[in-house]
Structure 1
Amino acid sequence: MTEHGPGTTDPLPIAQALIRCRSITPADDGAIGVVEDALRPLGFACHRLRFGEVENLFARRGTGSPHFCWAGHTDVVPPGDKGWTHDPFDPVVRDGALHGRGACDMKGGVAAFLAAVSDFVAARPDHPGSVSLLITGDEEGAAVDGTARVLEWMAANGHTPDMALVGEPTSRARLGDTVKTGRRGSMNAFVTLHGKQGHSAYPQRADNPVHRLVRVLHGLTATPLDEGSEGFEPSTLQVTGFDVGNTASNVIPAEARAMLNIRFNDRHTGASLTEMLHAALRAEGARYDLRVSVSGESFRTPPGPFLDRLLRAVERATGERPALDTGGGTSDARFIARFCPVAELGGVGVTMHQVDERVPVQELRDLAALYRAVLEEVLA
């Protein structure tokens, strides 16, 4: 690894090497290899884990407790084909910022942690406990053959961590201003309500499923699901699609379909919300089909020694106490929460998934310093 100052490893060239890999989910294109090549010389035992089409890596240094795991991903979303000032996979530094797909989310974060752990190991080769990395190539995709599968392998092979930090770009305006200690649950629902097709001039001979479905949706959206809970904002239900597939204006369709997305706090579960939808549809007295996909239940890491040390590290590195937050979408932390306390901390996520995604080089280096402070606190 390249040095940029006395005793500090520069994350910039590591991030550039990762960005050069066209690892559009679930492709790897060598990205996992970049991480492995950085870790093996530091004494990490590396395990390449391929599930389905997804390349993953679990690497651990040491065998003792406490076991701290840093989790991240090297896959990225597609860059699109318009608007980029430079090739999204040609990492250039312009106006003090590193440009490229994944610079922000989250190849830059992976590089920062690799730099941090390099410096930490150099300074404390006999550090207590153990440190590991869980790196997946399936975070931006289906998230089926990535972190969830690696965690199962870890549990089966005696590698369940005592605590974990996910390197998602959680900071809002400045580095370290926000730590995520939980996430709302997320579910999608697909409803098909059946009626009877007929001529619109003779509605008495038909059964209009559109009217029935509109009533159901109105009932579901008219009243808030809740007013929030401790540590969580209110749950939300959004109608994300409505379709009857009808091309004739004088025909009552035989069925109507809707899509819903629900983001829910700890007042609900995927099962309880599914039953709520069934109850609303049964009340309409119509024939229906309901398919539900729950991508994650809500979770929240309570106060305790891990969070205390993490917050102390952030305050030490930045000079300010971070805010705790549970908002936003889902992340792989939802899988890790089943095994150990988990939080999320990373760079400022302003340009993630955008055209000309970028991260200030100084922020990248500051993030490496922040991660080193975390290692020094949690493995004290």
Structure 2
Amino acid sequence: MSDAIDPVTLAKRLIACPSVTPATGEVFDILEAALVPLGFEVHRFVAGAAPDGPVENLFATRGAGSPHLGFAGHLDVVPAGDGWASDPFVPEERGGVLHGRGAVDMKSSIAAFVAACADIGEHPGTLSLIITGDEEGPATFGTPALIDWMAARGIRPDMILIGEPTSEERLGDVVKIGRRGSVNLWVTVGGTQGHVAYPHRADNPIPRLARVIDALEALHLDDGNDAFQPSNLEITAVETSSNATNVIPGWARAQLNIRFNNLQRGADLVELVRRTAQAAAPGARVEAKISGEAFLTPPGPIHDIVSAAIEAETGLAPRLSTHGGTSDGRFLISLCPVIDFGPPNATMHKLDEAIAIEDLDALRRIYARVIRLALGGA
């Protein structure tokens, strides 16, 4: 068995790095320094260029052959914001709780998995860590670049556990077996700018955009299914070319997001919005960016392994869910079955983000059980 690693100490060291997306440098140095003594071969590379890059990524591997368990995660964090009770990048324990940006999403999960690897002796098969510096941002050169890097070297895990915070009321009550897809769209309606006192010399695009919004709001996408809730379209912003009180704007734009289930495809939804906008306001322009398609990991070994490990440590039979936001499982599902499981998510992205120390210790034990069950003989 390798020398033990305290997940709390490692989590603190990672949190102390202000690795606002995209993460680079020191936070990867700390992770690499923890992995090398455990027998991992660590590869780091930078991918992409502006505007979505460059992005630093890390792939670490130990062992050889099958079965191959991959652990995926990200070292980047969202901006801290103002109003914390303590410095968000100076980790602080208060009352059995560790505070700091990334404590939940998701440096503690990475620390717990590394500590679990230290708890495991020699094992058959392969363990790997697939760690990006850009999950919270565009993600263009993060996990997709890691997948390309692995493919070029013939590396393909048999199953992947992502350490995203999935638990809700208690550690282990929820795991994510799939995620909804997401597409952002912008609908722009053109007009002619003019003085409000002379409307006959202008063409106000706002009423036409309002008709587009009404038509989009009236769409019924689906009723969901046994695995997913209904797909949902939300208008998230409206803007015009002018905010002056006496100017009719030259254009008006609506921004919207659709979170969709596996009954839909991103490209089909973009086309639906395009047709709807054209019908309500001929000439309307639609731009779109598909962040990821919906995916579902069907019942199989990874479900059983993660559920059994959680129940053994917590006594809970976790609920299998697809609710919530996206994760990099949207990319990794192209490789193998994927499940997300991590700490309670109540404080992720919030001020005073925090994880209970006892949850961090329990997470290490759960991950160690996952490794033993996945690889056998560990």
The match for 2:257 is 261
Give the SS at the match of 1:351. Answer: coil
TM-score (norm 2): 0.93
Alignment of 1:67-216 (within 5 A): 67-80=68-81, 82-120=82-120, 122=121, 125=122, 127-197=123-193, 206-216=202-212
Give the SS at the match of 2:284. Answer: strand
* Corresponding letter in the other structure for 2:65: G
Name the stretch that deviates more: 18-27 or 267-276: 18-27
Deviation at residue 270 of structure 1 after TM alignment: 1.0
Name the stretch that deviates more: 276-285 or 200-209: 200-209
Per-residue Cα deviation, 1:262-288 (whole angstroms, up to 9, x for no partner): 111112111101110111122135212
* Corresponding letter in the other structure for 2:221: L
Where does the alignment leave 5 or more consecutive residues of structure 1 unmatched?
Answer: none
Name the stretch that deviates more: 193-202 or 326-335: 193-202
The match for 1:25 is 21
* Corresponding letter in the other structure for 1:314: I
Residues 253, 286 of structure 1: alpha-carbon distance in 2 compared, 3 angstrom cutoff: farther
* Corresponding letter in the other structure for 1:93: E
Match of 2:295 among 280, 284, 299: 299
Give the SS at the match of 1:314. Answer: helix
Name the stretch that deviates more: 84-93 or 170-179: 84-93
Deviation at residue 202 of structure 1 after TM alignment: 6.5
Corresponding position: 1:10 with 2:6? yes
Deviation at residue 205 of structure 1 after TM alignment: 6.0
Q: Percent identity?
A: 51
* Corresponding letter in the other structure for 1:331: S
* Corresponding letter in the other structure for 1:117: C
Question: In angstroms, what is the RMSD of aligned CA positions?
Answer: 1.9
Give the SS at the match of 1:152. Answer: helix
2: CA distance between counterparts of 1:240 and 1:376? 45
* Corresponding letter in the other structure for 1:113: F
1: CA distance between counterparts of 2:265 and 2:16? 41
* Corresponding letter in the other structure for 1:361: I
Contact 2:211/2:281, CA 8 A, preserved across alignment: no
Per-residue Cα deviation, 1:55-86 (whole angstroms, up to 9, x for no partner): 21101111211111000111111212x32222
The match for 2:372 is 376
Name the stretch that deviates more: 23-32 or 262-271: 23-32
Where does the alignment leave 5 or more consecutive residues of structure 2 unmatched?
Answer: 49-53
2: CA distance between counterparts of 1:73 and 1:199? 51
Give the SS at the match of 2:170. Answer: coil
1: CA distance between counterparts of 2:263 and 2:359? 37
TM-score (norm 1): 0.92
Contact 1:165/1:343, CA 8 A, preserved across alignment: yes
Corresponding position: 1:232 with 2:233? no
Per-residue Cα deviation, 1:290-310 (whole angstroms, up to 9, x for no partner): 110011111010111221222
Deviation at residue 145 of structure 1 after TM alignment: 1.6
Per-residue Cα deviation, 1:230-280 (whole angstroms, up to 9, x for no partner): 200111111111122334555543321111111111121111011101111
Contact 1:71/1:166, CA 8 A, preserved across alignment: yes
The match for 1:65 is 66
* Corresponding letter in the other structure for 2:106: M
1: CA distance between counterparts of 2:97 and 2:301? 36
Per-residue Cα deviation, 1:82-103 (whole angstroms, up to 9, x for no partner): 3222222222211111111111
Contact 1:171/1:348, CA 8 A, preserved across alignment: yes
